[in-house]
Structure 1
Amino acid sequence: MPSRWYELEIDHCSFPDHLLYDQDGNIWVKAEEGGEVTIGMTTLLSAIAGKITSARLRPVGSRIERGRSLGTLESLKFVGPIPSPLSGIVAAANSDVVKRPKLLNDAPYIEGWIAKLKPLDLKAERVFLSRAMDAAETLKNRIAEFHVRCFKAFPDHEMYEIGTECSAVLVRLSELLATASVGDVVHLVTDDPTSYVEMVRWTDQTGHELVDWRQEGSLFHFIVRKEH
């Protein structure tokens, strides 16, 4: 993402401020030259939905009313419509997210855009959209309501290892990565107080990447990417 874009970060979730957002903070809108708009999902909706496994989009030429569906998303814990923040005619649908649905999680503001729309009544419907700074309180409340956690990379796998010594946890992590694909990301949660030191040592030894980590109370969250 170009560095000239200011990115508002709320509880580790990013919201670029050059975009506009719907009232729930789920969908973003970007005005393009020529009058079209690009539409996509936010890191907030990405985290709520979980790892997207399927995306079906309305075809080019479809007329969509504001609030009606631009398509459908599916994950292991979520099936639902993509509500259009504006009324318009679908000018383009992103076939890449149909082929690789996790783009919606990995790059929701860039390659993971959903559709381009020719707005029918942008002037009247602009009132339903806000800049990130103006919607900051709403976004913060939504993140808290849904207990959202955003990380620098979206996980493909989850490991919850509470009450287990870190040495045993790292053995299990190695076993999981042995069957995972290169580039897969694991979210590991542990309560071992030595875990950060041990994780840094383990990543140095194995060559896998520690992408992100944080401590929340007694729990440590690690985001690890398989590198080979």
Structure 2
Amino acid sequence: MRLEIDHCEFPDDRLYDLDNNVWIRIDEKKVATLGITSVHAALAGKLKQVKFKPLETFLERGRSVATIESIKYFGAVRTPITGKLIEVNSALESKGEIASNHPYDEGWFVRIQPSQLDEEIRILTQPRTNEEKIRSQIRELRVRCFKAFPDYEMWEIGVDCAAVLVRLNELVNQIAINEVVHIISDDPTADIEMVRWSDQTGQGVLESRPEGKLTHFIVRKVK
């Protein structure tokens, strides 16, 4: 089960440090897997670089386990528990976008052997008991969680949808398969036109989301 708040997801099977936007999941061996939340992923954008602390490092609660960097963001991933760093997800060092697109699954960051789990676990929380705090955080940070993270953005305000589609076709012809485009349009016919465009081109419209007078579209090149 997953709680969804303003399109940002929070699986129920783990505990959260909402101040640092990280989660942990404890396995049967009392090892903690740590990752970032969907809010943290959306705030950072598509990650270009991930650097981990060395294995066997002893980490106090609140210390950095990794630094993350995108075109628009540089920050730290902080541990909500004290313990020894015993494993890192080395796949993120070459493909940081895995954490952007799959923060709760294959995008996990590190595994830690906790040393004070019984005490520190009480500080962590479940999202269903903190919905309003999460909603307020999303609003304050102006975060948008989408089904896929954009590689490109097209702000097309005051532009006729036909002209937008011409530009979109030009961009899609230039980008790689599986890359994603975020289009923002205020044309009232955009929703219908994007469906028609997808049918004609065979490209995927993953998401269409109205927001006031604007509509956000997430498009993935599939062929």
Residue 179 of structure 2: aligned partner: 184
Q: CA deviation at 1:143?
A: 0.3
With the length of structure 1 as denominator, give the TM-score of the two structures. Answer: 0.96
Q: Are 1:168 and 2:163 an aligned pair? A: yes
Alignment deviations for residues 64-105 of structure 1 (CA, whole Å, 9 cap, x no partner): 110010010001111111111111101100001111000111
Alignment of 1:131-150 (within 5 A): 131-150=126-145
How many Å separate the matches in 2 of 1:196 and 1:163?
A: 15
With the length of structure 2 as denominator, give the TM-score of the two structures. Answer: 0.98
Contact 1:72 1:82 in 2 (8 A): yes
Alignment deviations for residues 2-49 of structure 1 (CA, whole Å, 9 cap, x no partner): xxxx10000000000111100326101101121101000011001111
- The one of 40, 43, 65 aligned to 1:45: 40
SS in 1 for 2:147: coil
Which residue identity is paired with 2:105? I
Residue 116 of structure 2: aligned partner: 121
Q: Are 1:153 and 2:145 an aligned pair? A: no
Contact 1:25 1:44 in 2 (8 A): no
Residue 221 of structure 1: aligned partner: 216
How many Å separate the matches in 1 of 2:13 and 2:133?
A: 18
Contact 2:20 2:78 in 1 (8 A): no
Q: CA deviation at 1:59?
A: 2.2
Contact 1:73 1:80 in 2 (8 A): yes
Structure 1's consecutive aligned runs of 4 or more residues displaced over 4 angstroms after TM superposition are none
How many Å separate the matches in 2 of 1:31 and 1:179?
A: 44
Contact 1:25 1:139 in 2 (8 A): no
Residue 3 of structure 1: aligned partner: none
How many Å separate the matches in 2 of 1:127 and 1:137?
A: 20
Residue 63 of structure 1: aligned partner: 58
Which residue identity is paired with 1:107? H
SS in 2 for 1:181: coil
SS in 2 for 1:86: coil
SS in 2 for 1:133: helix
Contact 2:101 2:149 in 1 (8 A): yes
Q: Which runs of 5+ in 1 are unaligned?
A: 1-5
Contact 1:24 1:139 in 2 (8 A): no
Which residue identity is paired with 1:105? S
Alignment of 1:94-113 (within 5 A): 94-113=89-108
How many Å separate the matches in 1 of 2:170 and 2:81?
A: 47
Q: Tell me the percent identity.
A: 44
Residue 72 of structure 2: aligned partner: 77
